[in-house]
Amino acid sequence: MSTSKPEFLRFTGHRHFAQRLVLSTLTGRPVHISKIRSSSPTNPGLAPHEISFLRLLEAVTNGSSMQISYTGTTITYHPGLITGAIAGQGAIDGDLIEHNIPPTCTRGITYFLLPLCLLAPFSKAHMNVRFSGAGIITSATETGDISVDSFRTAILPLFALFGIPPARIELRVLQRSCAGPGGKGGGGVVELRFASQVRLPKTLHHNRNPGRIRKIRGVAYSTGVSASNNSRMIHSAREVLNPLVSDIHIAAQYDTAPLVPTGDKAGSKRRLGIGFGLSLVAESSSTGVLYSADVVVPASGGTVPEDIGKRCAYQLLEVIAQGGCVSHTSASTVLILMAMGSEDVGRLRVGREVLATEDMIGLARDLKTFGASSWGLRDAEDDSGELVVSVKGTGVGNVGRKIA
């Protein structure tokens, strides 16, 4: 009796690397990714943040295996069972997984948190992970990652739409940090405790009118610089937003810069992750409609807090103007959960500018490659010019949960 080899889904390039590995883990389909930065003369192959993400996948799954070529430009990934934090399988302190991120990482911590929260509802046990190390960046980054504040206030509440209680999801920021010199490293500490595991996400029908903005919340954060930068950012953002919305509250958060070892023989340390930024989230009168914006000072500096505040306020207005029930930062998370849900047709209202991005088109292609149905598109019933996306769930359930 001959055993057939698994049929690999083949991809090329480094784009959507984490997204494809998450879909592979959820659907159980092995993948083969080649030509990862193969044309780069200086840094070919996997980047430090991608290698760190592979180690994270190995820690939260059981039975996963991966083979990486000598140059790092090709990887073969066989997914395993999503176990979460189980004692004896990589977990420390009983139910907590410690994941260290190297100082050469240029991506924000949400690069790891977003995929982890997509896997957590389908985990056998609670997904409790503490991120530490000299590479943790909790602020927004110039590479396109959102801050932990936007992730906590604009992404995590959306899980309630799928029957996943956000009350059992906790994100602790134990040490804030911005990007260090060259956009690398920060030295923060973040802990995610995801205790909401479900058998199957509910079918989402989110195609009603998004309504009007009724309140705006935000966080101005400063790390290792003067705390007056917070009030300056808040004041400049309010100058733009006050004429439009009356209910505005922006909190100020100040942290000292974390001490990070320099790596020399003397064991000396230095302050890293110095900077400031602003996160804004607008909530609509319709339930579950959130828009977010993030702006952080560049790692090279040279930008005053007033500019950061105004840029963030105008960015939020642009996101609101795009319309729909989800913004571009949360659209991929919602659409993936819809595709993994029960075998029924869900509907989501999105703006044309959100759906027409390269990332959304790539997501639709990847979902179809992994066995999901194609999206159905139609115009919204009103004259807003927005679209309603119909997504049929594939019925990817949590094998660790009994059927009720």
pLDDT value at 51 more than 70? yes
pLDDT in tens, 67-118: 999 999 999 999 999 988 764 455 555 578 999 998 889 899 999 999 999 9
User: In the predicted model, what is the mean pLDDT of the chain?
Assistant: 89
DSSP helix, strand, coil percent of the chain (3-state; round to 5) = 30, 25, 45
What is the mean pLDDT of the segment spanning 29-48?
92
Residue 1: pLDDT band by 50, 70, 90 thresholds?
A: very low
How would residue 261 be classed by pLDDT, with cut points 50, 70 and 90? confident
Residue 387, beta-bridge partner list: 350, 379
| pLDDT tens-digit map of 266-290 | 777 778 889 999 999 999 988 889 9
- How sure is the predictor about 206, in pLDDT bands with cuts at 50, 70 and 90? confident
Look up tokens 């430009």; give the residue: 73
63 burial level (CB within 10 Å; 0-12, 13-18, 19+): exposed
Longest dimension (CA), the chain: 74
Q: Decide which of 93 and 64 is more confident.
A: 64
Q: Tell me the C-alpha distance between 265 and 79, whole Å.
A: 40
Strand residues in 95-201 grouped as ranges (E): 97-100, 127-132, 169-175, 189-194
Adjacent-strand bridge partners of 244:
none
H helices of 159-273, in order, are 228-241
pLDDT digit string (tens) for 178-201? 988 888 888 899 999 998 888 888
Q: Which residue has the higher pLDDT, 221 or 263?
A: 221
Structure tokens belonging to residue 202: 């509910």
Quick one: average pLDDT of 39-53?
Answer: 91
DSSP string, 286-329: STT-EEEEEEE--TT----HHHHHHHHHHHHHHHHHH-BSS-TT
Using the Cα atoms of residue 89, residue 92, residue 93 and residue 96 in order, give the sign of their dihedral. negative
Q: Tokens 């760190």, residue?
A: 52
Token pair belonging to 343: 């075998």
Question: What pLDDT, in 10s, does the model give residues 289-338?
Answer: 999 999 999 988 889 999 999 999 999 999 999 989 999 999 999 999 99
Residue 206 dihedral angles phi and psi, to the nearest 5°: -125, 55
pTM of the predicted protein model: 0.92
d(CA 68, CA 47) in angstroms, rounded, equals 13
CA angle 303, 305, 306 (to 5 degrees): 105
Residue 8 burial (CB < 10 Å; 0-12/13-18/19+)?
middle
Tokens of 102: 């190297």
For residue 403, what pLDDT is reported?
A: 47
Q: Say which residues have a Cβ less than 8 Å from residue 40's Cβ, sequence separation at least 6.
A: none
